[in-house]
Amino acid sequence: MFFRFLFKPQDFETTLDGAIRLRRLGPGDAAIFRDHIHALHFTDFRDRFNGLASDYWLDKYIARSLDTAICIGAFQDEHLLAVAELHSGSHLPEGEAESAFSVASDWRRKGLGTLLVKALLKAATEAGISTIIIETGPQNHAMKALARRFGAKMRFGGDQSVGRINVAEGLRIAGRRKSPPPLAIAVPGVGGGLADGLGNRPAVPQTAV
pTM for the predicted model, two decimal places: 0.75
- The CA-based diameter of the chain, rounded to the nearest angstrom, is 43
* Highest CATH level, class, for 11-175: alpha beta
Instruction: Tell me the pLDDT band of 56, cut-offs 50, 70 and 90.
Output: very high
**Cα(45)–Cα(91) distance, rounded to whole angstroms?**
25
Strand ordering across the sheet containing 20-24:
13-16, 20-24, 70-76, 79-87, 96-103, 131-136, 160-166, 155-157
pLDDT at 17: 52
Contact 165, 125 (CB under 8 A): no
Taking only the tens place, the pLDDT of each residue in 158-209 is: 778 899 999 999 999 998 765 544 343 322 232 222 222 223 334 455 555 6
Contact 73, 80 (CB under 8 A): yes
* Other C-beta atoms lying within 10 Å of the C-beta of residue 60: 12
Taking only the tens place, the pLDDT of each residue in 84-100 is: 999 998 789 999 999 99
Instruction: Tell me the pLDDT band of 3, cut-offs 50, 70 and 90.
Output: very low
> Can you give the residue ranges of every domain in the chain?
11-175
| Residue with more model confidence, 1 or 25 | 25
